[in-house]
Structure 1
Amino acid sequence: MDQIAHKFLQVNGLKLHVAELGSESSPAVIFLHGFPEIWYTWRHQMIAVANAGFRVIAPDFRGYGLSDSPAEPEKASFDDLINDTASILDSLAISKVFVIAKDFGAMVAYPFALLHPHKVAGIIALGLPFMPPGAFTHHFVLPEGLYVRRWQEPGRAEADFGRFDVKTVVRNIYILFSQSEMPIANENEEIMDLVKPLTRLPSWLTEEDLSVYVDLYEKSGFRTALQVPYRSLQMVGSTVQDPKIEAQTLLIIGEEDYAFKIPGLDEYVKSGEVKKYVPNQETIYVPGGSHFVHEQFPDHVNECILTFLDNNKHLVVV
């Protein structure tokens, strides 16, 4: 971990934090985090991929971690994160890159590949497939009481989170998201109420790991994080007329990931419908894997990642 360098880039009017490891002359890999994560979620992958001969870059999205928050967080959008990703690569003089993304980071990675196909050598997505046009209005109906729908309501998550300190909020989210059941609250309870006070962290997340996340969420707060992804989800799903990602793609799914209990999502992948949009996709299911499969089983996930990168590194001209 001590080998990881940290720098700040002036990007689209904001100072964005980037963690980096590996030689600038090596093929590049950019890691895009989800929620409630920051760059640190990729610590196991960054070291393994850099040791395999790649340059690895893991930014904090705007409003997350050590990156600046936008002046008006409530106006932030996925388009901002897509543009920031392109600008980060331009700032670092990286012309082509492998994109590894988890959770809503994949909602940045896929449209980035559609808009900048010449910049993308390949995609590895963890926990979220390509979302078709109108994903959350026509294809996948989110259950009432699911945390996503609750947090879409302005003020509701703020009131829920505000009853606790930041450490308790982040701890509770990690506990909820590592379980196999969807976090769904009853009408008379809030999402934070779903975690009993003495519930332990998942075994793969230490108190020291938690403190890294907590320290940075105490800095950033949750304003931007609630806007992107949750209050921007209606915009998810490609606006490209006939979206098709030609890049080689690997989708890694934990078999116990609660997200694949969203009605229709698992069938969308297993039936092959997703290949209408991502024809060159391979899917790997990880037995016992949770929503945080890359932290839970880092060695197995790293092996999948390195095999994919090794098979496709000829697509990058350094």
Structure 2
Amino acid sequence: MENIQHSHVEVQGLKLHVAEIGSGEKTVVFLHGFPEIWYTWRHQMIAVANAGYRAIAFDFRGYGLSEHPAEPEKANLMDLVGETVGLLDSLGINKAILVGKDFGAIPGYLVAALHPEKVASVITLGIPFMLPGPSAIKNHLLPKGFYITRFQEPGRAEADFGRFDVKSVIRNIYTLFSGSEVPVAGDDQEIMDLFSPSIPLPPWFSEEDLATYASLYEKSGFRFALQVPYRSLTVDSGLSDPKATVPALLIMGEKDYCFKFPGMEDYIRSGAVKHFVPDLEIIYIPEGSHFVHEQFPEKVNQLIIEFLHKQSI
């Protein structure tokens, strides 16, 4: 970890926090999800750097140590597509491999679809190709206490989270999202009420890890994170039928609660996702959770590096 270098790079008028290690000719850029920041990729960054690649992870705008845009409530997921391309340009990277987790998968695939000259391949974890818009997540097919529905309601998550310190919020979300069941609150509950203090942190997530996440969210807060991805998930992307035609790998933990989103498992297992990503390989990790890359870092690192090396042949 001590060899990871940190800097700020100006992209589209905002200073973004960038973590970097390795000096290989080929660059791997990691795109985080929620409740994560660059640090979620700590294991993968070191592994790909040791395998001969340049590894870069950054905090999206409004997350961690990156600046917030002036009007966070107007932001949407397509902004992160432009931001990722802008970061590549600012760093002088002509072509990169993109690795996205959770909502980071969305800009990962869309940069590949819209700017194929800039992307050698795409790897995503936990989320397949998804196009932002009204049908992105079928909230109406889940109970009204579905966590995404709750997070999308202006002010509700703010009030829910505000009952706790930031460290407790991150602990609660990490623990809830590590389970195999979709987080759904009852009528008399908020999402944070689903967490029981008797539940320990996952064995692969240390108190030190928690403290690192908490310190970064104390800096950024949750204002932008609730907007992107949650409140902007239904904003139409303006794209009709994009295709990411570069070689792609999807790593899915079979205990990932996202598998239980309506239609998600069939979309992946049936191969329907390949309509959007024709050259897609899918690998399942039987005991993997939503945080499979932190839960089984050695396994995920091996899969990523094997895939990268295959593209180099």
TM over 0.5, shorter chain = yes
Contact 1:254 1:289 in 2 (8 A): yes
Question: What is the aligned partner in structure 2 of residue 256 from structure 1?
Answer: 255
- Structure 1 distance, partners of 2:198, 2:137, is 39
The letter for the 2-side match of 1:260 is F
Number of residue-to-residue matches in the alignment: 312
Question: What is the aligned partner in structure 1 of residue 246 from structure 2?
Answer: 247
Q: Unpaired runs of 5+ in structure 2?
A: none
Contact 1:140 1:265 in 2 (8 A): no
Contact 2:47 2:301 in 1 (8 A): yes
- Structure 2 distance, partners of 1:71, 1:55, is 32
The letter for the 1-side match of 2:209 is D
Question: What is the aligned partner in structure 1 of residue 175 from structure 2?
Answer: 175
Question: What is the aligned partner in structure 2 of residue 18 from structure 1?
Answer: 18
Q: Percent sequence identity over matched residues?
A: 61
Q: 1:142 to 1:67 in 2, by over 3 A?
A: farther
- Structure 2 distance, partners of 1:73, 1:134, is 18
Q: Unpaired runs of 5+ in structure 1?
A: none
- Structure 2 distance, partners of 1:52, 1:243, is 32
Question: What is the aligned partner in structure 2 of residue 217 from structure 1?
Answer: 217
Question: What is the aligned partner in structure 2 of residue 101 from structure 1?
Answer: 100
- Structure 2 distance, partners of 1:69, 1:138, is 26
User: What pairs up with 1:14-163 in 2 under 5 angstroms?
Assistant: 14-23=14-23, 26-132=25-131, 134=133, 136=135, 141=140, 143=142, 144-163=144-163
Give deviations 1:112-154, integer Å, cap 9, x for gaps: 1111111010000000011257463686755121111100000
Question: What is the aligned partner in structure 2 of residue 164 from structure 1?
Answer: 164
SS for the counterpart of 1:95 is coil
TM-score by length of 1: 0.95
Contact 1:27 1:313 in 2 (8 A): no
Moved more, 240-249 or 26-35: 240-249
The letter for the 2-side match of 1:83 is G
* Aligned-pair CA distance for 1:199: 1.7
SS for the counterpart of 1:136 is coil
Contact 2:106 2:131 in 1 (8 A): no
The letter for the 1-side match of 2:233 is L
Give deviations 1:70-97, integer Å, cap 9, x for gaps: 1111111112211111111101110000
SS for the counterpart of 1:62 is coil
- Structure 1 distance, partners of 2:137, 2:93, is 37
The letter for the 2-side match of 1:123 is V
Contact 2:105 2:129 in 1 (8 A): yes
- Structure 2 distance, partners of 1:2, 1:146, is 40
Contact 1:150 1:156 in 2 (8 A): yes
The letter for the 2-side match of 1:152 is Q
- Structure 2 distance, partners of 1:90, 1:112, is 13
Contact 1:16 1:61 in 2 (8 A): yes
User: What pairs up with 1:268-283 in 2 under 5 angstroms?
Assistant: 268-283=267-282
Q: 1:120 to 1:47 in 2, by over 3 A?
A: same
User: What pairs up with 1:277-292 in 2 under 5 angstroms?
Assistant: 277-292=276-291
Q: Alpha carbon RMSD of aligned pairs, Å?
A: 1.5
- Moved segments of 4+, more than 6 Å: none
Q: 1:140 to 1:249 in 2, by over 3 A?
A: farther
The letter for the 1-side match of 2:28 is V
SS for the counterpart of 2:234 is helix
Q: 1:137 to 1:178 in 2, by over 3 A?
A: closer
SS for the counterpart of 2:135 is helix
- Structure 2 distance, partners of 1:31, 1:173, is 21
Is 1:7 paired with 2:10?
no
- Structure 1 distance, partners of 2:235, 2:99, is 22
* Aligned-pair CA distance for 1:198: 2.6
Moved more, 205-214 or 240-249: 240-249
The letter for the 2-side match of 1:172 is N
- Structure 2 distance, partners of 1:212, 1:114, is 34
Question: What is the aligned partner in structure 1 of residue 296 from structure 2?
Answer: 297
- Structure 2 distance, partners of 1:76, 1:29, is 26
- Structure 2 distance, partners of 1:101, 1:67, is 18
Q: 1:295 to 1:60 in 2, by over 3 A?
A: same
TM-score by length of 2: 0.96
- Structure 1 distance, partners of 2:238, 2:73, is 22
SS for the counterpart of 1:235 is coil
The letter for the 2-side match of 1:52 is A
